[in-house]
């Protein structure tokens, strides 16, 4: 088993691995056994996962730029938990999160037109559409219509139900636990909190949303290994069509884990530095493509922001940080970043969100380079979508129960392990009462 | 003659304004899926040789203050980007093997 994980000698030289010979064996918490995906096809496991993972972990729900002013709010649907949140910036500038439920008769408090759709805006208070109960931005109940008709009611007892909420580098996180086991900073750990990136300068946002019929982890896995791109996406990209990639595959230059989180880094490929034949005609005109705009944005200097390129590799191209359980940030060498969110809906359906953030374009040329970058994301992502639906079907047939993962699939193995660990830990704590 | 829709230098592209000058990604993607390869190819063949010239023309304006005709030209370039994939890569309007999945741009900067 271990032997089959060894990379070809020539590539091992090009992309050196830890002294143990593989990334997987470098981390004692990982093994090299074939992996079961029962945790991605079982409705019963999904019920446990909701409690053990999604109600205990810190979950990213957005960025502070979505709440620029006091009274700014947005709603966030968490389909797998069958709940909706109101995230709001108070008059004291503090960002708070509440369950989006009126305390009177349980009506969803903030929505417009379609109750299942997310909305955003600015307001001074929240008023229920049903009977007009009002809440201030801190979640306090401030008004009951015909208050005298109620029996011994005290408004102080009927505030909105709060959800733990904290902010790291402008990313708003919530935690559904009654008392989170760790603070957000402790939860994110040293590898993630080392990142000091000028997020606040990248305010040009493009937001994709997809409805996909696969387990959230199965889909997530396609975005945390670079083993598949030369094959699944080879048609789209003249570089990946090269015999080198088609026959020898692609190597990640650095893997690292820190607690439940992980990162994979790859070498550079941006900037249109290759001969023109390696680019599609539109890429040559727009000076952009899969790696985003070819020309570096204004945040790029000769020194990378702290926390990036944690393996300190030469010819760095990108870092793909996976923040447990369902959030990823991908930093690109030309000075932009992407986030992915994988929200489970059921055991075999997910809501996939991708956000691309750039510095505001200074002219049409820069705007178009961004447009081609984000259009390319869709061409690749939809190829993944169809394939991952097919994977889900294959797994659900239960013809095969365990699957060999290579060293390039290090991050997939780690996620699988962490999910099982969190669920086992939850079950143990439940049993202990 | 009817009102000029595009900057004078690009009047030859006027026939494409109707149909290809669209406000959002979902509209452009729907246009791509509902068009034949001949229609997409004709649009691409007309636009592609003028793209660099159009970018140079549009670059002179502040992005947040584009005249209406320039804005239409920019929207044609957005459509060119989305139509380049069927022409340059897929030889068909839709991305192969995508099943029932959807993936739409819900929020995009204007312009």
The per-residue pLDDT for A233 is: 83
Cα separation, A327 vs A320, whole angstroms: 11
Residue B6 lies in a domain: no
Same-domain pairing of A100 and A126: yes
Chain A: give the shortest CA distance to residue B2, in Å: 27
**Taking a C-beta distance cutoff of 8 angstroms, is the pair A359, A335 a contact?**
yes
Residue A47 lies in a domain: no
- CB contacts of B95 in chain A (<8 Å) are 379, 382-383, 386
Residue range(s) defining the domain that contains residue B58: 13-88
**A155 Cα distance to chain centroid:** 38
Same-domain pairing of A201 and A279: yes
Pick the residue from chain B with its C-alpha nearest to A213: B101
Residue A80 lies in a domain: yes
Tell me the CATH number at A130: 2.102.10.10
Total structural domains in chain A? 2
Q: Tell me: the pLDDT tens digits for B25-67?
A: 999 999 999 999 999 999 999 999 999 999 999 999 999 999 9
Same-domain pairing of A6 and A132: no
Instruction: Give the ipTM of the model, two decimals please.
Output: 0.97
Helix intervals (H) in A267-400: 281-286, 364-396
Mutate: best of B99, B100, B107, partner A, most A CBs <10 A: B99
Residue range(s) defining the domain that contains residue A143: 59-179
Chain A: give the shortest CA distance to residue B48, in Å: 8
Residue ranges of chain A whose CB lies within 8 Å of a chain B CB: 204-213, 235-236, 280-282, 285-286, 352, 354, 361-365, 367-368, 371-372, 374-375, 378-379, 381-383, 385-387, 389-390
Cα separation, B85 vs A378, whole angstroms: 11
Q: Count the residues in chain A.
A: 433
pLDDT at B90 over 80: yes
Cα separation, B27 vs A365, whole angstroms: 22
Cα separation, A417 vs A31, whole angstroms: 9
Residue B8 lies in a domain: no
- CB contacts of A372 in chain B (<8 Å) are 81
Which residue among A132, A150, A179 closes a domain? A179
Chain B: give the shortest CA distance to residue A103, in Å: 31
- Residue in the structure block whose two tokens are 């790696």: A291
Sign of the CA dihedral with A242 first, then A245, A248, and A253 last = positive
Q: In 10 A of CB A122, how many CB atoms?
A: 13
Eight-class DSSP state of B63: G
Residue A234, classified by CB atoms within 10 Å of its CB into exposed (0-12), middle (13-18) or buried (19+), is middle
Residue A185 lies in a domain: no
- CB contacts of A354 in chain B (<8 Å) are 103
Cα separation, A26 vs A391, whole angstroms: 29
Residue B60 lies in a domain: yes
Residue B101 lies in a domain: no
Record: contact A285-B95, CB cut-off 8 A: no
Same-domain pairing of A223 and A164: no
Cα separation, A267 vs A270, whole angstroms: 10
Residue B38 lies in a domain: yes
Total structural domains in chain B? 1
Which residue among A157, A179, A201 closes a domain? A179
Q: pTM for this structure? A: 0.95
Q: Tell me: the pLDDT tens digits for B59-69?
A: 999 999 999 99
pLDDT beneath 50, residues of chain A:
1-10
Residue B59 lies in a domain: yes
Residue B31 lies in a domain: yes
**Taking a C-beta distance cutoff of 8 angstroms, is the pair A126, A135 a contact?**
yes
B55 vs A: CB within 8 A: yes
Same-domain pairing of A321 and A387: yes
The per-residue pLDDT for A272 is: 79
In angstroms, the Cα distances linking A235 to A14, A239, A384, B49 are 25, 10, 13, 24
B89 vs A: CB within 8 A: yes
Tell me the CATH number at A231: 3.90.380.10
Average pLDDT on B68-94 reads 97
Of A163, A9, A192, nearest in space to A81 by CA: A163
Residue B29 lies in a domain: yes
Among B51, B74, B89, whose Cβ lies nearest the Cβ of A235?
B89
- CB contacts of A374 in chain B (<8 Å) are 105, 108
Same-domain pairing of A86 and A17: no
Record: contact B104-A374, CB cut-off 8 A: no
Among A363, A371, A389, whose Cβ lies nearest the Cβ of B101?
A389
Mutate: best of A368, A373, A383, partner B, most B CBs <10 A: A368
- Residue in the structure block whose two tokens are 């060119």: B80
- CB contacts of A387 in chain B (<8 Å) are 97
Q: In 10 A of CB A298, how many CB atoms?
A: 12
State the SS3 of A349-387: EEEEEEEEEECCCCCHHHHHHHHHHHHHHHHHHHHHHHH
Which residue among A179, A214, A246 closes a domain? A179
- CB contacts of A379 in chain B (<8 Å) are 85, 89, 95
Residue B51, classified by CB atoms within 10 Å of its CB into exposed (0-12), middle (13-18) or buried (19+), is buried
DSSP assignment of A103-164 = TTT--B-S-SSSTTS--EEE-SEEE-TTT--EEETTS-EEE-TTGGGSSS--GGG-PPPEEE
The per-residue pLDDT for A188 is: 98
Record: contact B88-A280, CB cut-off 8 A: yes
DSSP three-state, residue A423: helix
- CB contacts of B96 in chain A (<8 Å) are 235, 383
Same-domain pairing of A244 and A377: yes
Record: contact A364-B58, CB cut-off 8 A: yes
Residue A48 lies in a domain: no
Find the helix packing angle between B68-85 and A364-396, rounded to 10°: 30
Judged by CB atoms within 8 Å, which residues 24-53 of B form the interface with A? Answer: 25, 29, 48, 51-52
The per-residue pLDDT for B2 is: 63
Same-domain pairing of A142 and A257: no
CA gyration radius for chain B? 14
Identify the band that residue B105 occupies on the pLDDT scale cut at 50, 70 and 90: very high
- Extract the tokens encoding B108: 């995009």
The per-residue pLDDT for B64 is: 94
């Amino acid at each position: 088993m271990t032997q089959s994980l060894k990379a070809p000698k020539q590539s091992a030289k090009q992309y050196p691995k830890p002294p143990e010979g593989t990334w997987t064996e470098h981390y004692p918490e990982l093994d090299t056994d074939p992996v079961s995906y029962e945790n991605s096809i079982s409705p019963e496991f999904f019920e446990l996962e909701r409690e053990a993972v999604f109600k205990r972990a810190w979950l990213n729900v957005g960025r502070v730029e979505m709440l620029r002013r006091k009274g700014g709010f947005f709603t966030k649907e968490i389909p797998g938990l069958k709940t909706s949140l109101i995230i709001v910036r108070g008059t004291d500038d503090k960002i708070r999160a509440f369950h989006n439920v009126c305390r009177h008769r349980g009506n969803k408090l903030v929505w417009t037109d379609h109750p299942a759709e997310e909305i955003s805006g600015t307001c001074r208070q929240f008023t229920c559409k049903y009977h007009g109960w009002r809440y201030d931005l801190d979640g306090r109940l401030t008004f009951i219509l015909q208050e005298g008709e109620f029996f011994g009611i005290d408004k102080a007892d009927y505030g909105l139900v709060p959800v733990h909420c904290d902010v790291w580098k402008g990313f708003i996180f919530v935690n559904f636990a009654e008392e989170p086991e760790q603070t957000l900073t402790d939860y994110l750990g040293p590898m993630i909190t080392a990142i000091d990136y000028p997020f606040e300068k990248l305010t040009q946002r493009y937001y994709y949303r997809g409805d996909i019929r696969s387990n959230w982890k199965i889909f997530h896995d396609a975005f945390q290994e670079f083993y598949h791109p030369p094959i699944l996406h080879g048609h789209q990209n003249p570089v990946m069509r090269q015999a080198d990639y088609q026959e020898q595959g692609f190597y990640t230059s650095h893997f690292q884990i820190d607690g439940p989180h992980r990162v994979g880094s790859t070498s550079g490929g941006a900037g249109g530095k290759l001969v023109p034949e390696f680019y599609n005609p539109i890429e040559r005109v727009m000076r952009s493509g899969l790696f985003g705009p070819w020309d570096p944005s204004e945040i790029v200097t000769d020194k990378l922001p702290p926390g990036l390129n944690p393996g300190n590799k030469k010819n760095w191209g990108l870092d793909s940080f996976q923040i447990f359980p369902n959030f990823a940030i991908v930093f690109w060498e030309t000075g932009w970043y992407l986030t992915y969110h994988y929200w489970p809906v059921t055991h075999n359906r997910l809501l996939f969100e991708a956000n691309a953030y750039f510095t505001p374009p200074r002219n049409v040329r820069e705007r178009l380079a961004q447009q081609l970058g984000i259009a390319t994301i869709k061409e690749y992502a939809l190829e993944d979508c169809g394939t991952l639906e097919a994977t889900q079907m294959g797994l659900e047939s239960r013809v095969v129960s365990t699957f060999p993962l290579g060293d390039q699939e290090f991050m997939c193995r780690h996620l699988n392990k962490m999910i099982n660990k969190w669920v086992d830990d939850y079950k143990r704590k439940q049993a202990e009462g | 003659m009817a009102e000029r829709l595009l900057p004078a230098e690009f009047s030859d592209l006027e026939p494409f304004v109707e149909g290809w000058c669209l406000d959002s990604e979902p509209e452009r993607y729907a246009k791509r899926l509902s068009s034949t390869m001949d229609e997409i190819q004709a649009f691409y063949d007309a636009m592609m040789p003028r793209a660099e010239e159009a970018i140079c023309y549009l670059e002179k304006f502040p992005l947040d203050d584009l005249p209406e005709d320039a804005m239409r030209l920019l929207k044609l370039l957005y459509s060119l980007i989305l139509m380049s994939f069927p022409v340059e890569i897929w030889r068909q309007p839709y991305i192969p093997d995508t099943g029932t999945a959807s993936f739409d741009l819900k929020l995009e900067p204007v312009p």
